[in-house]
Amino acid sequence: DKGVNDEYEPLKNLLELSKQILTENDRGGYTIPAKGLYPYQWNWDSALVALGWATLDEGRAWQELEMLFSAQWEDGLVPHIVFHKPSPTYFPGPEIWGTVEQPMGTTGITQPPVAAITVRKLYEEGVNKELAMQKAKELFPKLLAWHRWFQTARDPHGTGLVATLHPWESGMDNSPAWDEPLHNVPVDPIPPYVRKDLGHVDSAMRPKQEEYDRFLTLVYRFRAVNYDCTKLYFLSPFRVTDLCTNAVLYRANLDLRWLATELGENEIAEEIDGWVEKAHKAFDTLYDAEAGMYKSKDQLTGKLLAAKTSAGFLPLFARVASAEQAAALAATLERWLDCVKSGIPSYDPEAANFEPLRYWRGPVWAIINWMITDGLRAYGYEDLACRVEADTYELLVSHGISEYYNPVTGAAAGGKLFSWTAAMCLAWLS
C-alpha cells in the first residue's frame, strides 16, 4: 500500500545511489574515497568500504583488503594511503612522502586498524564460506604483523596503549583534541607548497593553514629518518594516545583473537590476550569520571586532553568500558543529541569553539555513528542506538551521500558521493 511504499522508495533510491557510488569510485580492486578530493586508496576507508562491497559482491570486498595489504611494509606497517596510480588532484602525494625503499608508493604513517574487524565480519557473515576461509587464512598473518607492529613500534615501553604520531594517523585530523599537542610542534622551514583540498571544497570546511604547516613539518621530519619505526616514536614532536586508534585497535584485537581461535592458532590467541589484558587496565587512565567521558592524552606532557570529542564514545565500540562507564557515556551522548538537530556531532556541541561545519570540529560522520551505535547496542542502549540510526538515515535521505554533515542544519558538507558513507548505507542502514 501507499504508506509502505512511501517509506520504501527513499531507502531503495539510497541503496541504488550507494551502489553507484562504490562502482564509480572503484579503480580496479580498490575504492577511492571521493573523486578529485581523495584519488588514492586510504587505509580505514577501505576497511569500512569493504563492508559495503560485501553486500554487493563478496569477492570484491575481500579484494579491497588484499589491495590494501599488498602495500604492507616489511616491518608490519599498513600505510595510511596507497598511491597505486599517479594523480595530480591531491596534496601531499608520493613525491612529498618519498618512501623510496618501499615496493609501492605509500605514505609512511598508518590509520586506525579497522581491517581485522572487517575480516571477522566478512568471514562470519559471508555466504561463500570456502572463499571466506581461504581469504581469512591469507590475510591473518598480515593482520597479525600489523597488530604486532602497533605493540612494538607504537608502545615500546609496554604501557598497553599505542601512540599516534601524526594527526592524519588518527583519522580525525583537525580534532580539537590535537590543538594543544599540535601547537607544541614547532614549524620547520619546509619547502613552499600549495594545498589542493581547497580547490575541491570550501576552506571553511577544512583544516587551517597553521595545522597544515605542522602536518607537513611532521612528514618532513619522519622522512628524514626514512620512516624508521624504531626511531619515529622517540623523535616525533607530536605523540598522543588517541582514543579512536586505541578503541579501534582494542576491538580489532578482540576480532583477531576470535579469528586466531577459528584458525586453530592457539598460541597467537594467547599472545593477543596479553595485549588485550594490558590495554583493558590502561584504558581506565583515559576515563574522566567528572566529565562522563573518555579523553585522549598527550604523551609528551602526560596530560589528558580537555576536548570532549566523539572519539570519547568509541570505548563502547571497543567493549572496553565498564557498565558504569557505559551508562555515563550514554547520558553524555543524550545531552549532546539534545543540543543538535542531527547527531552525533564530532565535538561537544556546548563547547565555545564548536564549529558545525569544520571537518572534525563539529560535523557528523556516518562511520563514527555506526561504530558508536554498534557499541550502544552491545551495552543494551537500544533506544539510543535507534535514535542515532534514525538521525543518520534522515541525514542521508534528505541531504545525499556526502563526506559529513552539519549537525545543526543537517546540510551535507565536504566531498560529495563519498564511498564510506555509501558503504555505511549498504552495510548498516539497509
Which positions lie near ligand 9WN, rule CB under 6 A?
33, 38, 42, 44-45, 80, 168, 171, 173, 197
312 residue type, one letter:
G
Active site residue 173: yes
Q: Which CB, 107 or 392, lies closer to ligand 9WN? A: 107
- Joined together, the cell numbers standing for residue 177 give 583534541
CB of 380 to ligand 9WN, least distance (A): 29
CB of residue 168 to ligand 9WN, shortest distance in Å: 4
Task: Select which of 155, 211, 348, 403 is catalytic.
Answer: 403
Half-sphere exposure of 288 (CA within 13 A, CB side): 18
- How many other CB atoms sit within 10 Å of the CB of residue 270? 11
Closest distance of CB 420 from ligand 9WN, Å: 7
H or E, element range at 392: helix 382-399
Q: Which residues on neighbouring strands pair with residue 347, listed in sequence order?
A: 309
Note whether 429 and 14 are within 8 A (CB).
yes
Q: What is the largest CA-CA distance in the chain?
A: 67
403 is catalytic: yes
Shortest separation between residue 370's beta carbon and ligand 9WN, angstroms: 14
Q: Which amino acid is at 343?
A: G
Task: Give whichever of 204 and 390 is closer to ligand 9WN, judged by the CB atom.
Answer: 204
Q: What is the DSSP string of 6-72?
A: HHHHHHHHHHHHHHHHHHHHB-SSSB-SBTTTB-SEEHHHHHHHHHHHHTT-HHHHHHHHHHHHTT-
Judged by beta carbon, residue 81 or residue 408, the one nearer ligand 9WN is 81
Residue closer to ligand 9WN by CB (options 227, 275) is 227
Q: 97, 219 in Cβ contact below 8 A?
A: yes
Nearer to ligand 9WN, 332 or 402 (CB): 402
* Catalytic residue selected from 45, 155, 173, 255: 173
Query: How far apart, in whole angstroms, are the C-alpha atoms of residue 293 and residue 311?
Result: 10
User: CB 332 → ligand 9WN: shortest distance, Å?
Assistant: 23
User: Catalytic positions, please?
Assistant: 173, 403
